[in-house]
Amino acid sequence: MDPIEVACNCGAVIVRLTALPVQQFYCHCDDCQRAAGSPYIGVALFPAGAVQVHGDTDAWTLRAMPRRRCRACGTQLLGEVPGGEIIGVRGERLPVDAFKPQFHIHCRHARLPVKDTLPHYAGLPPEFGGSDERVAW
């Protein structure tokens, strides 16, 4: 595949992605809400070895997951899933035709329910070692 390049708003940071995403979803958890200042975020998970960050970033951690943003313009770009093997790139930064979310997670925390045809898992889905419990949206 051709690498996908994701840029921050000012262009100082480029994230180069050399594999297809492992999973893509919307996260409604309260950690993402606070970090992003948004009711939910899009996430595309990639193997850590397929994510190359060029440019200066700052890291910050609210609860457990270090997140990275451009040092110059503050655009939030990715989160490093604890364990070191997976990186979650902000889905909104991917090209429109590359971000294809498959489900919603942590919907019990949702502040802005999204009524679409995707599965709405209450917490973590079975794919991530969680349960099949859904919310009734």
CA distance 23 to 46: 8
Q: Which of residues 50-109 bind Zn ion (CB under 5 A)?
A: 70, 72-73
- Least distance between Zn ion and beta carbon 9 (Å): 6
Buried b / exposed e along 34-63 (16+ C-beta atoms within 10 A): ebeeeebbbbbbbeeebbeeebebeeeeee
Q: Is 4 in the site for Zn ion (CB under 5 A)?
A: no
Q: Is 19 in the site for Zn ion (CB under 5 A)?
A: no
Strands 57-61, 4-7: pairing is: unpaired
> Do 46 and 101 meet the contact criterion of CB atoms below 8 Å apart?
no
- The residue among 2 and 84 lying less far from Zn ion, judged by its C-beta, is 84
Range in contact with Zn ion (rule: CB under 5 A) among 10-18, 83-91, 96-104, 109-117: 10-18
Range in contact with Zn ion (rule: CB under 5 A) among 3-11, 79-87, 110-118, 128-136: 3-11
Q: Which of 6, 17, 27, 87 binds Zn ion (CB under 5 A)?
A: 27
CA distance 99 to 95: 7
Q: Is 12 in the site for Zn ion (CB under 5 A)?
A: yes
